[in-house]
Structure 1
Amino acid sequence: MDENVFLVKWYGPFTTSEEERLWEKEQSFKCSLYLLHGKLKYAKSREVYYCGESTRNVYKRLCDKGHHIAEIKERLNSIYVGRISNIKHPTRSQIMLVEKTITAYLAEELGEQNLLNATNFYYSSQNVYVINEWWKIDGESMWARQPINAPSHIVPDVICSHCTENKDIELYGCKKMKRL
Structure 2
Amino acid sequence: MGTKKSLSKTYVISWYGPFHSIEETKDWLCQNDNIDCRLYLVQGKKPNAKNYSYYCGQTTRTVPERFNDKDHHIREIPNKRNIWIGALGNRYNKEDIDIAENMFIHLLSIETNEQCINDRKRDFHSLDCNVFFVSKWNNPKRHCQPECSIKLLLPEVVVYFTDTDEVKTAKKLRYL
TM-score range, shorter chain: 0.7 to 0.9
Q: Which runs of 5+ in 1 are unaligned?
A: none
Q: Residues 94 and 119 (structure 1 numbering): CA distance in 2 closer, same or farther, change over 3 Å?
A: same
Shift, 1:2, TM fit: 6.5
Counterparts of 1:51 and 1:124, CA distance in 2:
18
**Structure-1 residue corresponding to 2:157:** 158
Deviates more, 1:48-57 or 1:103-112: 103-112
**Structure-2 residue corresponding to 1:38:** 44
Q: Deviations over 1:37-91 (max 9, x none)?
A: 0001121x11111111111111100101110001012x0421000100122xx21
Matches within 5 A, 1:64-79: 64-73=69-78, 75-79=79-83
- Does the alignment pair 1:13 with 2:18? yes
Counterparts of 2:151 and 2:74, CA distance in 1:
18
State the identity %. 31
Q: Which runs of 5+ in 2 are unaligned?
A: 1-5
Matches within 5 A, 1:1-150: 1=6, 4-27=9-32, 28-43=34-49, 45-73=50-78, 75-87=79-91, 90-113=92-115, 115-120=116-121, 122-126=123-127, 127-137=130-140, 146-150=145-149
3-state SS of 2:85 partner: strand
List 4+ stretches of structure 1 deviating above 6 A: none
What is the one-letter code of the residue matched to 1:125? Answer: S
Contact 2:45/2:80 (CA < 8 Å) preserved in 1?
A: yes
Alignment coverage as a number of residue pairs: 168
The one of 170, 173, 176 aligned to 2:172: 176
Shift, 1:97, TM fit: 0.6
What is the one-letter code of the residue matched to 1:50? Answer: Y
Q: Residues 120 and 5 (structure 1 numbering): CA distance in 2 closer, same or farther, change over 3 Å?
A: farther
Counterparts of 1:106 and 1:132, CA distance in 2:
14
Q: TM-score, normalised by structure 1?
A: 0.85
Q: CA RMSD in A?
A: 2.0
3-state SS of 2:77 partner: helix
3-state SS of 2:169 partner: strand
Contact 1:100/1:124 (CA < 8 Å) preserved in 2?
A: no
Counterparts of 1:60 and 1:100, CA distance in 2:
21
Q: Residues 99 and 49 (structure 1 numbering): CA distance in 2 closer, same or farther, change over 3 Å?
A: same
